[in-house]
Amino acid sequence: MKNPRAVSAVTRRIADQVYSHAKEGRLVLTLGGDHSIAIGTIGGTAKAIRERLGREIAVIWVDAHADINTPETSGSGNIHGMPVAFLTGLATEENEDFFGWLKTDNLISVKKLVYIGLRDVDPGEKRILRENGIKAFSMFDIDRHGIGRVMEMALAHIGSDTPIHLSFDVDALDPMWAPSTGTPVRGGLTLREGDYICECVHETGSLVAVDLVEVNPSLAPANDIGAHETVRAGCSLVRCSLGESLL
């Protein structure tokens, strides 16, 4: 793994911060950063909701990538490709400085995990998804069923009245809507589809935390409008998740 000590330390601090707010019943919004921060955000939310409500959280992970490689299956060693593996216990480390601080109360169940928007998934990740029966909706599913039906199926899988953590990587959107991101992949969600996902999750009344990650204006060329458009898209996603409606 690349820089595990630093990433572990940062995500542990994030987990403590998110936990401190979520245990008080506040909806926690976190702006990233790459998607490795979800080790902290989801770990903190999971612990707080277990203590406050005695319940497990569900996670809706909106992303072009599955981010569920283990250190053994990863070809790059990038931890931002591994957060879901650590959060589900599929990847473990005993060393406190290398994510050993993640305990049972920080983890989530693969049965309460739903992916939306996948289109760039490593072979090892495909195997992990299949072997663990993880619910995943790729862009093929969205093209076939439409985003409305996909959201109905996703929320039905989670179950009603389940606390939801929405973790949204802006690269789930097609690069025409959000070009200033680290790993853009063509053929993604429209901004309207992304907004709809956020609107649907808000309407459940069960949203307890939101991550928006991978908005990186520094990746746009000088005087390029891509950075501005990506920030606008990110702001739209956040507003919709917090309850802004069209009417």
211 is catalytic: no
DSSP 120-177: ---HHHHHHHHHTT-EEEEHHHHHHH-HHHHHHHHHHHH-TT--EEEEEEGGGB-TTT
- 21 is annotated as contributing to ligand binding: no
- 120 is annotated as contributing to ligand binding: no
193 is catalytic: no
Catalytic option among 80, 165, 193, 199? 80
214 is catalytic: yes
80 is catalytic: yes
- 157 is annotated as contributing to ligand binding: no
Catalytic option among 141, 199, 214, 229? 214
165 is catalytic: no
Residue 228's nearest CA partner among 238, 237, 216 is 216
Catalytic option among 120, 125, 141, 171? 171
CB atoms within 10 A of CB 200: 20
- 202 is annotated as contributing to ligand binding: no
63 is catalytic: yes
- 97 is annotated as contributing to ligand binding: no
Measure Cα distances from 213 to 27, 99, 128, 205, 244 in Å.
17, 20, 23, 22, 20
Residues annotated as part of the active site:
35, 63, 65, 67, 80, 169, 171, 214
Q: What residues form the annotated binding site for Mn(2+)?
A: 35, 63, 65, 67, 169, 171
Q: What residues form the annotated binding site?
A: 35, 63, 65, 67, 169, 171
